[in-house]
């Protein structure tokens, strides 16, 4: 099988390409080498693959990239929490328009198998339980609560503080920022493409991915990379709120394994799966383990918050295990120790 990996020179895409090649497949990479994701050596990094420098919004580049391809793993995107409203057009252009152009080009060339890099952010807040009202969906947390250091979401019916649980794939979607909105739109576009063409499309909803070669020193990187960059500079990681935010951290090698499983088990039409560990770990715990593993300063818990951040989101891994045969294998302690000592990729200047 020959697979086109869009965004294939990036953090996750490069690991996906390596895993496909290790399984005996051929890979072609299409990447526009965005400065926020790549260092100056990106053009040489993927020497074992066919790297095409181009943009998924460019029909000519797509025509070349899709020639002779059997399937696509679509990772090309602007990622992370936007820094302000001025970022919105770029997110929409890269993530929504880029995906639409890719799907149109795939339909024209009868490429019928697609794996989409989606995200946990489509859910918004995680799954919550109220002692009185059962499973509920909280709205955005009140600024008054956040200012007083009350960080747990409240029941929309009685106002009581909620307990968090694991999010299944059939949970309602509730994107809370521009990036999240574009990721959910990608899923809708891909589902429409599958219905219209008879194609096979899998959306993999990545949870908090970490591992070797994460980008450093960029506002678009994940929290693990930001903590790692701070420690590499001799600074203490700065943890927002009280550090008790629960997340599901999944190693990038497991994410690559999930992509291979999705290619090998295409659905009839469209399907979405959590790619996760299923284990709840706090952001404070992640920062503390990284500090210990690097011998760096202990985290500073700031009590600060960002509007739009969710409090807890931990995923249910059972559907992916049942239908894709995928379970995460890299343990948290093992993965964090490796990540703490692994190289990060430099962000390009400018």
Q: How crowded is residue 84: how many other Cβ atoms within 10 Å of its Cβ?
A: 7
Residue 48 confidence (pLDDT): 52
What is the separation of C-alpha 68 from the centre of its chain, rounded to a whole number of angstroms? 28
Show the tokens assigned to 142: 């009140």
pTM of the predicted model as reported, rounded to 2 decimal places: 0.93
Structural domains of the chain, with CATH? 2-126+167-341 (3.40.50.720), 128-166 (no CATH)
String of DSSP letters for 219-276: TTS-HHHHHHHHHHTT-PPEE-TTS--EE-EEEHHHHHHHHHHHHHS--SEEEEEEES
Residue 38 confidence (pLDDT): 59
Residue 136 confidence (pLDDT): 96
pLDDT tens across the length of the chain (350 residues): 999 999 999 999 999 999 999 999 999 999 998 765 555 445 444 445 689 999 999 999 999 999 999 999 999 998 876 667 888 999 999 999 999 999 999 999 999 999 999 999 999 999 999 999 999 999 889 999 999 999 999 999 999 999 999 999 999 999 988 999 999 999 999 999 999 999 999 999 999 999 999 887 665 567 888 999 999 999 999 999 999 999 999 999 999 999 999 999 999 999 999 999 999 999 999 999 999 999 999 999 999 998 878 999 999 999 999 999 999 999 999 999 999 988 777 654 32
For residue 49, what is the DSSP state? Answer: S
Residues 346 and 158: their CA atoms lie apart, in Å, by 48
> Torsion angle of alpha carbons 49, 53, 56, 59, nearest 10°?
-110
Residue 84 confidence (pLDDT): 76
Strands 2-6 and 26-31: parallel
Q: How would you classify residue 286: left for phi > 0, otherwise alpha for psi between -120 and 50, otherwise beta?
A: alpha
Residue 349 confidence (pLDDT): 33
């Amino acid at each position: 099988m020959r697979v086109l990996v869009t965004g294939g020179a990036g953090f996750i895409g490069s690991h996906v390409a390596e895993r496909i090649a290790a399984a005996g497949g051929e890979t072609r990479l299409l990447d526009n080498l965005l400065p926020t994701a790549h260092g100056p050596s990106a053009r040489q990094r993927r020497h074992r693959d066919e790297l095409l420098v181009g943009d998924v919004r460019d029909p000519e580049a797509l025509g070349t990239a899709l020639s002779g391809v059997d399937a696509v793993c679509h990772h090309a995107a602007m990622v992370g929490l936007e820094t302000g409203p001025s970022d919105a057009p770029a997110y929409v252009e890269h993530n929504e328009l880029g995906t639409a152009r890719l799907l149109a080009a795939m339909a024209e060339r009868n490429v019928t198998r697609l794996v989409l890099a989606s995200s946990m952010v489509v859910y918004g807040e995680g799954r919550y339980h109220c002692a009185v009202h059962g499973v509920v969906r909280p709205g955005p947390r009140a600024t008054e609560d956040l200012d007083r250091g009350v960080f747990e979401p409240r029941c929309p019916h009685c106002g009581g503080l909620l307990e968090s649980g694991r999010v299944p794939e059939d949970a309602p979607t509730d994107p809370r920022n521009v990036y999240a909105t574009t990721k959910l739109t990608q899923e809708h576009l891909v589902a429409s493409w599958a219905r219209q063409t008879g194609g096979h499309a899998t959306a993999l909803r990545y949870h908090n991915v970490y591992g070797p070669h994460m980008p450093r020193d960029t506002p678009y990187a994940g929290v693990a990379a930001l903590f790692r960059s701070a420690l590499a500079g001799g600074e203490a990681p700065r943890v927002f709120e009280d550090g008790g935010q629960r997340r599901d951290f999944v190693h990038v090698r497991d994410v690559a394994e999930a992509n291979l499983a999705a290619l090998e088990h295409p659905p009839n039409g469209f399907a979405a799966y959590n790619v996760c560990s299923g284990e709840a770990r706090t952001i404070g715990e992640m920062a503390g383990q990284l500090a210990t593993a690097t011998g760096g300063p202990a985290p500073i818990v700031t009590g600060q918050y960002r509007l739009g951040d969710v409090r807890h989101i931990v995923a249910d891994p059972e559907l992916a295990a049942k239908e894709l045969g995928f379970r995460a294998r890299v343990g948290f302690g093992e993965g964090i120790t490796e990540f703490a000592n692994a190289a990060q990729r430099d962000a390009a200047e400018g």
